[in-house]
Structure 1
Amino acid sequence: MELSIDNYKNILPGNLVKRSEKCIVRECDEIEKYKYQAYVDENDVSFDVTILLNDKKELLHHNCDCKSKAAFCQHKIALFLYIAKKGAKKSAGNPKKSDKLDMLVNEVDIADLRKWIKELLIKNKDMELAFVHHFSNQTSKHTPQDVKKLTLDAVKAVIKNKRKIEVGEVKKIIDLWTEIHLPIVEKYYSNLTDVKSFENFNALVESYEEIQRKVSSSSNKMIKYLESLFAKVLTALNELQHEDDWNLALGYFADLIDGESYNLRIHYLSFLEKAIGCDGTLKGKDLIDKLVKRYIKCDPTKFYDGKIYTETLFNIVVNNDLFAVYHKVFKPITFNNDYNELLIDNLINCGHLQLAEKYCREQIKNNSREEYNLLYLQFMKKIAFLEKDENKLAEVLKYLFPNTFDFDDYLFIYSRIENEEEKKKWRSKVLSRARQLANYNTDAMRFSFKLMELDNKYGKMIDYINDNTSYNIIFEYAERMILADKKEFLKTIFNKTDHTYYMDEDREVTETISKLLGLLKKYYTESEIKKSIDNASKSSWSYRTNMLIAFMADTRIQK
């Protein structure tokens, strides 16, 4: 059943309708027949919503610029309810009213009309600005100073000296900008290589940035307006026939990314990244070279957005397969592991192992906590392996091992310690650390069991079983532990208290416990098992269940 004005009460969920009724619908217009557009406010945030109905008042199409994944968000419902209950003001106007308006305009005295318009414009500065601009013929003579003044004046005409722009005021500003900027941007779009046209476009962007620094608004309409202008520049760029023109047009943006102030032109940097795309080895190679050379001449750390500058340029270079050419340009950024990981990984892949190792050591030196070193130690392990330097590899693994508990790494390190006393000390040290971490580190727990297996100490291994030991590990060594100390093993596994009652939630654990029970029946009599369970129940202090005992009880109940 299609959602319509007549049946929405039976289709829309009641709780969602209640939430939607808290939204405020403003400036609802019927821009075409049965096509409604409005602002819908949810708390301090405003959204553009459009709804289209058919002749039967059924929903045909709907759109909202919120990021909800719901097929029909609460903002759309709010507008739908508004239309259903109150109707919308038609932008086309009532035909009868239109006829009356036409008649009045045609009959009014021109002098009186001019006087009335002038008084109206004096009272409404935004309308005055739009009127002056519309009826002036100064388009071709605009300078950057003119563009800046027009852009800023439009804001001042709407909000005067306020510091916060309301959502409705943002719409008025955008409407004014659209009209004022139209001849300026169209002239630029038609000739992207003309430096004077670019300077006017740049003045427009600078004015936007100045406004963003001075005032605040919960609406995202201003940034969307700016993004729409850049999108049209991209479209015009794609229509350029000559590569030289393309480079010249984008070069204007590249020259203005950084200046004397501490602020970067992030809008230009992002725009250039989109314009270049992943085709830099062809058309954009010269432009990328220009960007890199400009970057080298400045100190990115002095800029407020210096990290973004480095990361964006790095992405442009890597995405266009030019990292091998500019690998010395980029340096690590302290405490920025995501970027550093990509940088060092690319250095290793290009064969610059010494530089990659240098950067790893620098970051390890700067880190205040040991766990932050893991990423860089892994890289150093890879570098030592590629260099086939076993001594360096052993040195790195000594630092890396306490975080990974990789048993093969343990064997590699242990075999290369020549002094027997040093071997014992190191073995004791890593085993002690593994035992400390075993309660919440599965790798550390597994290492402890593997080390006991290596030493053939299965009786000692029983002591390592605790509340956190997985049944997979227990079953893996169960038979050899039983043969080492049959009585102690049975006592230990029944006195074990587990952290979950819901063994049926993990099928693999249930299957392992079933196999372990089968192994017990092989080595123990039924009376031995029962006696051990009874003793465990008498001495139990914990409210937690032993999963093995619970499994046996469930099995008997099912039988």
Structure 2
Amino acid sequence: MTIAQLLKFVERATVRKAAQLSIREVEEESKGHWIAFVDDKEESYDVQIVIEGKQVLSRSCECEIDNIVMCSHQTKLLMAINDALKGKKIATKPVVKKALSKKKVSESVALLQDVSQEEVYTWLTELFKKNKEVEQEFILTFKKQDIAEYTVDIVDKILKDIYTSVFGKRKNADTKDIKKLVDLVSLALEPVDKYIVVNITKPIALELYLKIMSSLFTLKYSVNYTSKRVDTYMNKFVERYVLALLNVKDQDVVKKTIINLLKQLYEPKNSLQYSLVSALVIELYESKDERYTSLCGDEVVKIMKHYQDNNYVVEIEMYLFFLIIAVEQQVLKDCYKLFKPVRFQNEYNLLLLKGLMDIDVKLVEEYCLKIIESNIQIEYNEPYLEILEEIYENNGDKSGIANIKKQLFFQTYDLEDYNYVIKYLKDPEEVKRFRTKVLSILRNNFHHAKSASMLYFAILETEHNYKKMLEVLTRDVPQDVMWAYGEQMCKFNAASYLDKVMSIGQTPVYPRYTDERLAEFIVEKFSTKDIVQKLMKYRYTDGSLNKKIKTLVEKKQK
């Protein structure tokens, strides 16, 4: 675990206590080996932490707390190391607390100093009758924790008491209610958390985890609320559980515990328990602890075979998770036939197809074609078409590539792709339909996009179809396109080209600009006589192409 991860999961009470302790003689004795003395009241503890980069390799403290739990003394040194790595100066002197002046004492605190104990006792008794939440918090804060062991029934009662104190018989809760709930649950379950950590490799730890999580999960079905605080608490609880397990030094015991967790996934009949166990397994795997991730790879193959043999179906999120493990742990070859494409699940499908590329290319092609056929929205086909294109390129299948480029063309509108389709598509009728569709779409978009007319004329250029170019010359064709292909159209029929251009050039073409190059080309290419005749036939409004042509002709005559 990294320093940041360890500090993230330290209990709040431990962090608060660590902040009050003083640390001295902090020293990096050797590379990554840090030592210090942490003073706690009348005692001083020798603390040692070994790191490599930002990873914590080992830690120890003279205090009697089990090393699985981060004690306040280790936390103090770890915070100091974290500061040192960030270039901050380590504060090694105890912080001297200043006495509060009377002005800083709140009115309530001042009253407490004056009121007798008996009066406070009487007032609290009445308050507890009116406010069960305050009563519950008082009990949780001051009651001596004399329970040596926790059972599922004890934890169940703790949680039910909290629910009753916060909600009573109400079925609706606001944000403040949920905050009170989470605060009380955090306070009440703090010793349970510690008990779970100490017993993390024993069955009771998982039993308590399932009880706490299932109780909080089902709460939403008895009380209506929108706050995310309970979900956040549950997510943190999963993280703490996994961190505690990974911090156990005996790797063999940890491996047995993880295998036991994975075996809980064999029978997905109890959906809630399955979901809660899978949350632990996912968190374990995503920790990327290389000591244990391979265990997941071996077990996934067995789980997937068990699901198939018993006709079990689970949520797509779990299939995706199992697939990620199979790919990353390189065991997909042993179970790839157990994974099938799922309609409309692109993330899962693409991961499966890419994983199969080195295993069974024919199966990848078959799956891609089935997915494309089932898709309603054409744009979702693009990644599958690209996979097929890669397969056909590797096989040298030009007809197959042409078919893919044909389907992708209406996303790319690439001239080279168009020419490839025309050249290598086998069916002449299919080629004809493709050409007609492309030219029709481009022609209908002349007014909306200059790129449409540019590509349209480029295609006609490859066909040497200058007759069609002249036919489609209208105001919707940008003047720079008229100029770009002017030479070719003039060679085919100069008179028709001049007449078309000057017919279009009578008025300004807002918001399109008037192309100076086209005016210069006309004056250069045609005689003054021919141009003047057209100017007698067509108008030359200010700002129009014809006006520019007229101006250039007049300059030429001078």
TM-score computed with the length of structure 1 as normaliser: 0.65
What residue is the counterpart of 2:321 in the other structure?
312
Distance 1:342 1:526, change over 3 A: farther
What residue is the counterpart of 2:159 in the other structure?
151
What residue is the counterpart of 2:346 in the other structure?
337
Distance 1:536 1:311, change over 3 A: farther
> Within 2, Cα distance between the matches of 1:379 and 1:333?
17
Q: Deviations over 1:289-348 (max 9, x none)?
A: 324533443379987x81222233334444556655654443222022343233323323
Q: Secondary structure at the match of 1:233?
A: helix
What residue is the counterpart of 2:511 in the other structure?
501
Deviation at 1:204, TM superposition (A): 0.9
> Within 2, Cα distance between the matches of 1:119 and 1:309?
52
Correspondence 1:144-543 to 2 at 5 A: 144-251=152-259, 253-256=261-264, 259-262=268-271, 269=278, 272-277=281-286, 279=288, 283-298=292-307, 306-318=315-327, 323=332, 326-348=335-357, 350-368=358-376, 372-390=380-398, 392-393=400-401, 407-409=415-417, 411-412=419-420, 414-415=422-423, 423=428, 425-438=429-442, 439-440=444-445, 448-465=456-473, 469=477, 474-493=482-501, 495=504, 501=511, 513-524=515-526
Distance 1:281 1:221, change over 3 A: closer
Q: How many residues matched? A: 443
What residue is the counterpart of 2:134 in the other structure?
127
Question: Is the Cα contact below 8 Å between 1:449 and 1:464 reproduced in 2?
Answer: no
What residue is the counterpart of 1:70 in the other structure?
none
> Within 1, Cα distance between the matches of 2:544 and 2:257?
71
> Within 2, Cα distance between the matches of 1:95 and 1:466?
84
Deviation at 1:237, TM superposition (A): 4.3
> Within 2, Cα distance between the matches of 1:550 and 1:329?
74
**Counterpart residue identity of residue 485, structure 2:** Y
Q: Secondary structure at the match of 1:164?
A: coil
Deviation at 1:170, TM superposition (A): 1.1
Distance 1:278 1:222, change over 3 A: closer
Distance 1:160 1:468, change over 3 A: farther
Deviation at 1:179, TM superposition (A): 1.1
> Within 2, Cα distance between the matches of 1:259 and 1:96?
58
**Counterpart residue identity of residue 213, structure 2:** V
Question: Is the Cα contact below 8 Å between 1:139 and 1:184 reproduced in 2?
Answer: no
Question: Is the Cα contact below 8 Å between 2:297 and 2:331 reproduced in 1?
Answer: no
Deviation at 1:206, TM superposition (A): 1.0
> Within 1, Cα distance between the matches of 2:495 and 2:547?
21
Q: Deviations over 1:107-140 (max 9, x none)?
A: x28xx93x66455434333334344445264533
> Within 2, Cα distance between the matches of 1:472 and 1:301?
65
> Within 1, Cα distance between the matches of 2:496 and 2:133?
89
Deviation at 1:286, TM superposition (A): 0.6
> Within 1, Cα distance between the matches of 2:409 and 2:259?
50
What residue is the counterpart of 1:84 in the other structure?
none
> Within 1, Cα distance between the matches of 2:381 and 2:203?
50
Question: Which of the residues 109, 119, 131 maps onto 1:98?
Answer: 109
Segments of 5+ residues of structure 1 without an aligned counterpart are 1-30, 32-91, 504-509
Segments of 5+ residues of structure 2 without an aligned counterpart are 1-15, 17-102, 553-558
> Within 2, Cα distance between the matches of 1:499 and 1:204?
73
Question: Is the Cα contact below 8 Å between 1:171 and 1:221 reproduced in 2?
Answer: yes
Distance 1:429 1:502, change over 3 A: closer
Question: Is the Cα contact below 8 Å between 1:498 and 1:546 reproduced in 2?
Answer: yes
What residue is the counterpart of 2:43 in the other structure?
none
Question: Is the Cα contact below 8 Å between 2:372 and 2:381 reproduced in 1?
Answer: yes
Alpha-carbon RMSD across the aligned residues, in angstroms, is 4.5
Deviation at 1:361, TM superposition (A): 1.8
Larger-gyration structure (1/2): 2
Question: Is the Cα contact below 8 Å between 1:247 and 1:287 reproduced in 2?
Answer: no
TM-score computed with the length of structure 2 as normaliser: 0.65
Q: Deviations over 1:516-535 (max 9, x none)?
A: 45444432467866876896
Question: Is the Cα contact below 8 Å between 2:341 and 2:349 reproduced in 1?
Answer: yes
Percent identity over the alignment is: 19
Question: Is the Cα contact below 8 Å between 1:397 and 1:409 reproduced in 2?
Answer: yes
Question: Is the Cα contact below 8 Å between 2:365 and 2:388 reproduced in 1?
Answer: yes
Distance 1:333 1:263, change over 3 A: farther
> Within 2, Cα distance between the matches of 1:250 and 1:551?
82
Deviation at 1:256, TM superposition (A): 4.8
Q: Deviations over 1:189-241 (max 9, x none)?
A: 33421221232122111111111333332322222222332333344345333
Q: Quick check: 465-474 or 445-454, which moved more?
A: 465-474
